[in-house]
C-alpha cells in the first residue's frame, strides 16, 4: 500500500494533521513570564548606527519606562570628546556614565560590572560602517561580548531595522539544545508588540544537516533520511519549550508558529532584505558551537539580534 502515491499522500496528510493536534496538547505546560528591561546600558560608537540605537533606546523608554545609562565606548585613539552626554539628552530618563580606560570591549565589560543593568544595547560592527563591512565580520567587540557578557545584548544592525517595528515579528532562533532557551522566550514575549507574531525557529544549518545525514546513512545504508524527518525530530526534541510558548502566546492572544527548519533557509533574512524582524537567540557562553552559531547569525543579519547569554565560562 505504501508504494501507492495516493496512500503516501493520505499517510502524509493524516500524520501532518495528527502532529498538529499533538502539538496542541500544551495544557500541562507552564506559561512563560515575560521579561522586560528596567535598566539599560546603551553603548555608542560614533558610527551612523548610533541613530538606530537611539531609536531602540527611545522605544524601550516609551514602552517600559527604562532607566538608560549611556556609555561612549570608543577607543581613546578615535575619541577626542565624550559623546555620551549629547546622546543622553536625546532620551528622557537617560544619563551618561564615564567609561574606564582601555579597548572598547573592556570599557563595556567594565561598565557592565559596575552598573546593575539588565540589557546592553550595542551597535555591530562596533565603530565601523555596517554597509562597508556587510556580512564579513561582526567585529571584535561582539566576539568578546558574546564570550564574556552576562547580560542580554541587543545587537543593533541595519539603520532601517528599528526595534519598535521589528518587535512585531519576533523569532526565537535555536540551533541546538540550550539551557537559556526559556529565558530567551521570556525576553521574546517581553519585547513583542501586542499584535506581534512569534516564531520558534529550530534550525539545523544545511551543511550541518548534510553531515548528520551522511553519518546516519553510513550507519544505516538502507535508510533514506529526508529533511522533514529531521524537522520532526527537532520538533519533538523541543516540545517542552514549544508547549510553553504556545500556551503563553494563546493566553496573551499573540500569533505563534513552530518552525522546524532542518537544512532549510532560516532567519535572518539576507542582508538586503526589507522584511523587519527581531531575532532572539539564547547562548550558553561556554558552548563554543553555540557561540559560533550566534556569531554567524549576527554577522549575516540585517535585523537587530537580542542575545540572551547563560553562565560565565569558568
Partner 1 sequence: MLLLASAIEATPVEPAAAWVMLLFAAVMMATYVGVAVERFHKTVAALCGAAVLIVMSLSLGLFEYTKIYDFLKEDLNIFGVIIGTGILVDVVGRSGLFHFLSMWIVRFTGGQASKLFLTLCLVTFLFVSVLTIVPAMLILSSLVLVICRSLDYKPMPLLLSVAICANSGAIATFASGLPNIMIGTAAGIPYMQFLQVSLPYAVISLFVAIAGLRFFFRHDLPWHQSETQQAALREQIETFDPWALVEDRKVLIRSALILTLTVIGFALAQQLGVGMDFVAMVGATAALLFAGKGVEDAIGKVNWTVILFFMGLFLIIGCVKQTGALAWVAEQVVAVSGNRLELLLPLLGGFSAVASSIVDNIPVAATLIPIVQDISGDSVPAEPLWWVLIICCNLGGNGTPIGSISCVIAIYALKREANVHVGWGTFLKLGGSIMVVQVIGAIAYVMLATNMGWIPDLP
By CB under 8 A, name the binding residues for partner 1. 1, 6-7, 10-11, 13-15, 17-18, 20-28, 197, 243, 246-247, 249-250, 253, 255-257
Instruction: Please state whether beta strands 305-309 and 153-156 pair in parallel, antiparallel, or not at all (unpaired).
Output: antiparallel
Shortest separation between residue 254's beta carbon and partner 1, angstroms? 9
Q: Which is nearer to partner 1, 236 or 257 (CB)?
A: 257
CB of 244 to partner 1, least distance (A): 11
DSSP β-bridge partners for residue 203: 261
User: How far, in Å, are 13, 71, 118 from residue 279 at the CA level?
Assistant: 31, 24, 18
Residue from 40, 35, 63, 38 nearest 121 by CA: 40
Give yes or no for a contact between 281 and 265, defined as CB atoms under 8 angstroms apart: no
Of 6 and 132, nearer to partner 1 (C-beta) is: 6
Q: Which is nearer to partner 1, 13 or 270 (CB)?
A: 13
CB 231 within 8 A of CB 261: yes
What are φ and ψ of residue 153, in 5° steps? Answer: -115, 120
Q: How far is the CB of 239 from partner 1 (least distance, A)?
A: 12
Task: Write the DSSP string, 172-218.
Answer: EEESS--TTHHHHHHHHHHHS-TT-EEEEEEEE-HHHHHHHHHHHHH
Residue closer to partner 1 by CB (options 168, 208) is 168
Q: How far is the CB of 164 from partner 1 (least distance, A)?
A: 20
Smaller CB distance to partner 1: residue 251 or 286?
251
> Which residues, 6 or more positions from 141, have their beta carbon under 8 angstroms from its beta carbon?
73, 104, 105, 108, 122, 124, 125, 126, 127
CB nearer to partner 1: pick between 103 and 264: 264
Closest distance between partner 1 and the C-beta of residue 47, in Å? 37
87 vs 256, which CB is nearer to partner 1? 256
Q: How far is the CB of 94 from partner 1 (least distance, A)?
A: 36
What is the closest distance, in whole angstroms, from the C-beta atom of residue 299 to partner 1 in the complex?
Answer: 29
What's 46's DSSP letter? S
For residue 126, which of 155, 168, 98, 147 has the smallest C-alpha distance?
Answer: 155
Amino acid at each position: 500500500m505504501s508504494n501507492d502515491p495516493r496512500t503516501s499522500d493520505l499517510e502524509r496528510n493524516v500524520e501532518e494533521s495528527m502532529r498538529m493536534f499533538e502539538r496542541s496538547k500544551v495544557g500541562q505546560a507552564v506559561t512563560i513570564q515575560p521579561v522586560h528591561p528596567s535598566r539599560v546600558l546603551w553603548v555608542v560608537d560614533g558610527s551612523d548606527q548610533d541613530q538606530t540605537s537611539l531609536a531602540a533606546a527611545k522605544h524601550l523608554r516609551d514602552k517600559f519606562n527604562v532607566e538608560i545609562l549611556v556609555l561612549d565606548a570608543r577607543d581613546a585613539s578615535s575619541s577626542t570628546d565624550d559623546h555620551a552626554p549629547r546622546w543622553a539628552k536625546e532620551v528622557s530618563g537617560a544619563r551618561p556614565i564615564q567609561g574606564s580606560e582601555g579597548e572598547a570591549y573592556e570599557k563595556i565589560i567594565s561598565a557592565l560590572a559596575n552598573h546593575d543593568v539588565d540589557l546592553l544595547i550595542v551597535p555591530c560592527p562596533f565603530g565601523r560602517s555596517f554597509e562597508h563591512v556587510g556580512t564579513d565580520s561582526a567585529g571584535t567587540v561582539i566576539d568578546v561580548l558574546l564570550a564574556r557578557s552576562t547580560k542580554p545584548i541587543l545587537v543593533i544592525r541595519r539603520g532601517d531595522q528599528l526595534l519598535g517595528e521589528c518587535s512585531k515579528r519576533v523569532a526565537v532562533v535555536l540551533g541546538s539544545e540550550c539551557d537559556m532557551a526559556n529565558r530567551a522566550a521570556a525576553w521574546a514575549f517581553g519585547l513583542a508588540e501586542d499584535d506581534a507574531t512569534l516564531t520558534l525557529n529550530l534550525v539545523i544549518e544545511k551543511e550541518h544537516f548534510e553531515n548528520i545525514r551522511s553519518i546516519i546513512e553510513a550507519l544505516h545504508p538502507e535508510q533514506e533520511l529526508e529533511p522533514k524527518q529531521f524537522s520532526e525530530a527537532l520538533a519533538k526534541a523541543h516540545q517542552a519549550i514549544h508547549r510553553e510558548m504556545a500556551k503563553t502566546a494563546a493566553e496573551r492572544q499573540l500569533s505563534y508558529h513552530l518552525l522546524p527548519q532542518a537544512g532549510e533557509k532560516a532567519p535572518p533574512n539576507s542582508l538586503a532584505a526589507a522584511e523587519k524582524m527581531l531575532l532572539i537567540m539564547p547562548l550558553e557562553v561556554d558552548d563554543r558551537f553555540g557561540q559560533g552559531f550566534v556569531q554567524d547569525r549576527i554577522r549575516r543579519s540585517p535585523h537587530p539580534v537580542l542575545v540572551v547569554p547563560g553562565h560565565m565560562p569558568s
